[in-house]
Amino acid sequence: MLGANNEENYSLEVEETEEYAMTCLGALVFADKHFRQSSTPDDLSKNQVDSLSLAYEDLFTMPYNIIQDYSLTIQHLDISNNMFSRNLQFLSEFDNLRSVNLDHNKIDDITVFPNIPNLELLWLNHNCIKNLYPFIKNLHRSVPNLKYLSLMGNEAAPSYLNGGDFCDYIRYRLYVLSWFPHLVHLDDRTVTEQQLLQAKKLFRRSLLEDFVVVPECIKDLHNKMAVCSKPSASDKQRVLNGTNLIV
Is the bond preceding residue 134 a cis peptide, omega within 30 degrees?
yes
For residue 47, what pLDDT is reported? 63
> How far, rounded to the nearest angstrom, does the alpha carbon of residue 80 sit from its chain's CA centroid?
16
**Tens digit of each residue's pLDDT (9 = 90 or more) over 140-178:** 999 999 999 999 999 999 986 667 788 999 999 999 999
For residue 210, what pLDDT is reported? 47
Mean pLDDT of the chain: 77
**Tens digit of each residue's pLDDT (9 = 90 or more) over 40-77:** 555 455 667 899 999 999 999 999 999 999 999 999 99
Give the three-state DSSP class for 12.
helix
For residue 208, what pLDDT is reported? 40
Q: What is the largest CA-CA distance in the chain?
A: 93
For residue 26, what pLDDT is reported? 45
Asked if residue 118 lies in contact with residue 146, where contact means CB atoms within 8 angstroms, the answer is no
CA distance 116 to 165: 33
Nearest in space to 172 (alpha carbons), one of 144, 199, 139, 137: 199
Nearest in space to 116 (alpha carbons), one of 139, 86, 137: 139
**Tens digit of each residue's pLDDT (9 = 90 or more) over 87-129:** 999 999 999 999 999 999 999 999 999 999 999 999 999 999 9
Question: From residue 1, how far is each of 5, 7, 11, 13, 160 by CA, in Å?
Answer: 6, 10, 16, 18, 20
For residue 165, what pLDDT is reported? 81
- Domain 48-208 annotated CATH 3.10.110.10: no
Give the three-state DSSP class for 68.
helix
For residue 120, what pLDDT is reported? 98
For residue 6, what pLDDT is reported? 52
